[in-house]
């Protein structure tokens, strides 16, 4: 049985949390900044950050990319694509071919 070696960390806002990886993201801050609605609210935090870090914050911007291009973003995985396709379809949009 493998046990993870979690370290106590404190973010800039003073939240204390445990992390076993080198990822500097505070899970408490991440939860606080999660959108309550819109297509970004449907995604996991890594997938949401992947889009935001690449300037994709609207469905219009998302539709200018192909699925293959989106999957190249660090943090974006294939399980997010059905949610993104559905959100685009609701607005009459689609990924670029």
Low-confidence stretches of the chain (pLDDT < 50) are none
Give Cβ neighbours of residue 53 (< 8 Å, ≥ 6 apart).
73, 74, 75
**Residue 66 and residue 20 share a domain:** no
CA distance 3 to 32: 29
Say if 2 falls within a structural domain: no
pLDDT of residue 55: 97
**Residue 42 and residue 16 share a domain:** no
pLDDT of residue 4: 66
**Residue 19 and residue 42 share a domain:** no
Q: How many domains does the chain have?
A: 2
pLDDT of residue 3: 57
CA distance 39 to 34: 11
Angle at 67 between CA 22 and CA 77, to 5 degrees: 30
Say if 72 falls within a structural domain: yes
**Residue 76 and residue 49 share a domain:** yes
Domain containing 22 equals 7-34
């Amino acid at each position: 049985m493998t046990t993870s070696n979690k370290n106590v960390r404190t973010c800039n806002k003073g939240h204390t949390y445990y992390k076993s990886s080198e990822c500097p993201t505070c899970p408490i801050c991440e939860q606080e900044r999660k959108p309550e609605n819109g297509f970004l609210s449907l995604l996991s935090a890594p997938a949401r950050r992947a889009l935001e870090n690449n300037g994709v914050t609207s469905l219009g911007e998302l539709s200018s990319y192909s699925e293959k291009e989106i999957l190249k973003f660090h943090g974006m995985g294939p399980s997010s694509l059905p949610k993104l396709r559905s959100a685009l379809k609701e607005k009459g949009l689609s990924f670029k071919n």
